Amino acid sequence: MTWTAEDIQHWLKQFADQIHEHKDELTDLDQKIGDGDHGINMARGVKEMNKLFDEKTFATPGELFKAVAMVYIGKIGGASGPLYGSAMMKMASSAGTQETLSDKELIDALKAGKTAIEQRGKASVGEKTMVDVWVPLLQKFDGSDVDWNAFSDEADELKAKTKEMHAKKGRAAYLGARSVGHIDPGSASSALFFQTLAATARE
Ligand code: ADP
Ligand code: MG
Ligand code: MG
């Protein structure tokens, strides 16, 4: 599809709905291997994002991503806020001033966001962080002729795979081997991010 700023706003509103719906679940996951605030952090961020959407309309996807980046950086907090925020910031640079993005251009923007998360958090695949969803997912789908059902299923599978991982980065790393057996909370919120994207693309 061709993504206008309005389409992207629609996607991110669905992401916000899903975060609110899964808030307790995200917090429970973080209670198991972290400090129990991931659902609260994300809900605070997306609530503020929705406020921004009520107040302002955006001419381009890039403009929208940049404004959302500022909200995420300022409002989510914790480790995940700067990570999601820098991803959005790089997505804004990648989208530039174009009025619309093709699927390929949107996936390219997400790839730039993925690189920002890797650079900021310095985590690699297999260390039980959101990188375990972002990196393999965006490696698998290069943006030409995306099968959005497969994209959505893959995001869910990648999230599930973090369960058996031994955390090496973030708070869960303090637990060492005891982190095994629980899904990484940031991977769970990232799966919602990508699944709502796929749902919007399929509409
Ligand atoms: P905090 O751990 O500061 O309380 P959150 O609970 O909001 O922050 O977010 C935790 C999530 O952030 C983790 O589940 C993980 O996915 C992600 N995360 C933490 N550290 C890193 C890192 N260095 N690189 C990538 N992701 C990370
Ligand atoms: Mg936490
Ligand atoms: Mg915290």
What letter represents residue 134's amino acid? W
Q: Find the CATH number of the domain harbouring 129.
A: 1.25.40.340
- Please give the residue range of the domain that contains residue 181: 2-202
pLDDT by residue (tens digit) across 108-154? 999 999 999 999 999 999 999 999 999 999 999 988 899 999 999 99
Ligand 1 contact via 86 beta carbon (within 6 Å): no
What is the residue-wise DSSP string for 68-94? HHHHHHHHT-TTHHHHHHHHHHHHHHH
Q: Which of 76, 130, 183 to mutate to test the pocket of ligand 1 (most atoms within 8 A of CB)?
A: 130
Nearest residue (CA) to ligand 1, atom 11: 186
- Dig out the tokens for 74 from the structure: 């300022």
Cβ of 38 less than 6 Å from ligand 1: yes
In angstroms, the CA 63 to CA 78 distance is 25
Please state the pTM of the whole predicted model.
0.98
Confidence of residue 8 (pLDDT cuts 50, 70, 90): very high
**Domain tally, the chain:** 1
CA of 38 to the centre of ligand 1 (A): 8
What value of ipTM does the predicted structure carry?
Answer: 0.99
CA–CA separation, 134 and 118 (whole Å): 9
d(CA 40, CA 77) in angstroms, rounded, equals 10
What is the DSSP track for 115-168? HHHHHHH---TTSSSTHHHHHHHHHH--SSS--HHHHHHHHHHHHHHGGGPPP-
R_g (Cα) of the chain, nearest Å: 16
**Which residue type is seen at 73?**
I
Give residue 143's pLDDT.
Answer: 84
Check residue 142 and give its pLDDT.
85
Distance between CA 66 and CA 49 in Å, rounded? 12
Q: Which ligand is nearest to the CA of 193?
A: 1
